[in-house]
Amino acid sequence: MNETQLNVLRKHLEELDEHLVSLLAERFKVTDQIGRYKSTHQLAPADPLREHRQAERIRKLAAEHGLDVEIAERILRFIMKEAVKRHQAIQVKFGEFL
């Protein structure tokens, strides 16, 4: 590999990072809608059964794509933890914290 090839790879990583950020922003918009629904319907911010199912699904997807399943699950759990925090904030904002 030469420096030109390295720079091409780095540029590609930057493009992938842009896609990741865009997808995360979109995902949190959806989870915020879910948080508003939960708040309106007095549902708990966290859903451990759903989170477990999501983790299993992500592990399967990661394996199918050749990604370390532990890394994929840690990333998902972090994202879900942040979504729950946002759900809690939504409930506090609307005065319906459980």
* Predicted confidence (pLDDT) per residue in 55-92, tens digit: 999 999 999 999 999 999 999 999 999 999 999 999 98
Long-range contacts of 47-55 (CB under 8 A, 24+ apart): 51/77, 51/80, 54/80
CA distance 10 to 45: 39
Question: Looking at the domain covering 3-93, what would its CATH class be?
Answer: mainly alpha
- 2-60 per-position pLDDT tens digit: 999 999 999 999 999 999 999 999 999 999 999 999 999 999 999 999 999 999 999 99
Task: Give the largest CA-CA distance in the chain.
Answer: 59
CA distance 84 to 38: 11
pLDDT higher than threshold 90 for residue 93: no
pLDDT higher than threshold 90 for residue 97: no
